[in-house]
């Protein structure tokens, strides 16, 4: 059984995926108070097998974790984590985000790797990390990895819907494996299990993408579910939703034009309805706010609920998000989809097992 540390743990998406495939999450680090409350409730629980450090990772000494959890014969096998990605967001235009101090957290992540010396580490981030404007951070990460004797695998851009997640979601994953550790390179990156009609003709073993309808995203919520809540909208906005065609209708179909959209049309997806016949849109940190994307219920006249957003991320219905509506939405949008996390971590665990 592999021992893991989850950095920038958020609500616990990576940690839950790790636990689901039999890995031990020894410690986790997260700064956001609401995310910590969620993590503590769902991952730490009453058993307390995982130690949660509610700390700013810039102020937490990685040797604190090493001394507390990895001494004598106990080893750190795997470090996980997704450093905050706002500075690398594709929504930033021109050179916005280039000097965002949060970008430095990618390198802070590796400082923990250097001290903990895991057999492998797996980092997640948004596609914007690959943009030329951010190249220095990516190059520095690879440089530091090689200095610390890690085999740095080529970064891979994966879409969650290619692995059975009912959501279009592209993310970058970077794997490093220590040179002293045997690793079966044939398992990385994991091969897609799902695809569209064209892909399935070329590879008959692929399954169809999972749609929101197939995943039953919009089924009833569990009784007394505190996350069965959505934004309250103005009467005017409810009328707009009523005039927006069901199952995929857009803001343009409703005939509504905002002042900010005059002259350029605005973003096509805002105030749009989700089409249940397709994988859902990317769940962002504002996924419960229809003004931020295609986040309106397919037929009802409001934005999606926290529970529905969590289902798009393949969280189980008994996973409770703390902190209120907006905080819960942010936690969900920041998380690694559980099913995708399981695929990735299973591949890494399989690769490491070849040396046993």
Active site residues: 85
CA distances to 33, 53, 277, 335 from 273, rounded to whole Å, are 32, 39, 12, 23
Contact 310, 42 (CB under 8 A): no
Q: Quote the DSSP letter at residue 43.
A: I
Q: How far apart are CA 102 and CA 125, in angstroms?
A: 12
Pairwise CA distance, residues 119 & 98, whole Å: 31
Element (H, E) at 33: helix 33-39
Q: Are 109 and 122 in contact (CB under 8 A)?
A: no
* Both tokens assigned to 28: 């986790």
Distances (CA, A) of 264 to 170, 212, 268, 290: 26, 31, 10, 19
* Sequence-distant (≥ 6) Cβ neighbours of residue 300 within 8 angstroms: none
Residue 305 has φ and ψ, to the nearest 5°, of -85, 165
Helical pair 135-147 and 105-116, crossing angle rounded to 10 deg: 10
For strands 24-30 and 3-7, give the pairing.
parallel
CA dist 97 and 99 (Å) reads 6
């Amino acid at each position: 059984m592999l021992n893991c540390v989850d950095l920038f743990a958020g609500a616990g998406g990576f940690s839950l995926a790790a636990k689901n495939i039999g890995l031990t999450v020894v410690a986790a680090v997260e700064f956001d108070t609401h995310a910590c409350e969620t993590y503590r409730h769902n991952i730490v629980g009453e058993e307390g097998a995982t130690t949660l450090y509610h700390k700013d990772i810039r102020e937490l000494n990685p040797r604190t974790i090493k001394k507390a959890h990895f001494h004598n014969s106990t080893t750190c096998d795997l470090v996980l984590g997704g450093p905050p990605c706002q500075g690398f967001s594709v929504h930033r235009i021109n050179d916005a985000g280039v000097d965002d101090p949060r970008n430095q957290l990618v390198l802070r992540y590796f400082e923990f790797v250097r001290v903990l010396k895991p057999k492998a580490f797996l980092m997640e981030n948004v596609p914007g990390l690959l943009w030329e404007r951010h190249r220095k951070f990516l190059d520095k990460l690879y440089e530091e990895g090689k200095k610390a004797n890690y085999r740095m695998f080529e970064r891979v851009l994966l879409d969650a819907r290619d692995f059975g997640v009912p959501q279009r979601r592209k993310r970058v994953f970077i794997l490093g494996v220590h040179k002293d550790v045997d690793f079966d390179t044939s398992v990385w990156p994991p091969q897609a299990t799902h695809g569209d009609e064209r892909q399935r003709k070329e590879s008959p073993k692929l399954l169809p993408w999972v749609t929101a309808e197939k995943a039953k995203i919009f089924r009833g919520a569990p009784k007394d579910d505190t996350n069965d809540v959505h934004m309250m909208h103005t009467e005017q906005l409810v009328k707009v939703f009523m005039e927006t065609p069901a199952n995929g209708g857009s803001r343009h179909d409703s005939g509504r034009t905002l002042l900010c959209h005059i002259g350029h049309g605005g973003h096509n997806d805002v105030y749009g309805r989700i089409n249940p016949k397709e994988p859902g849109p990317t769940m962002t940190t504002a996924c419960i706010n229809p003004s931020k994307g295609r986040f309106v219920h397919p037929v009802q006249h409001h934005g999606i609920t926290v529970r529905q957003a969590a289902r798009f991320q393949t969280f189980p219905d008994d996973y409770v998000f703390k902190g209120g509506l907006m905080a819960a939405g942010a936690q969900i949008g920041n998380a690694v989809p559980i099913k995708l996390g399981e695929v990735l971590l299973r591949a890494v665990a399989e690769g490491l097992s070849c040396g046993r």
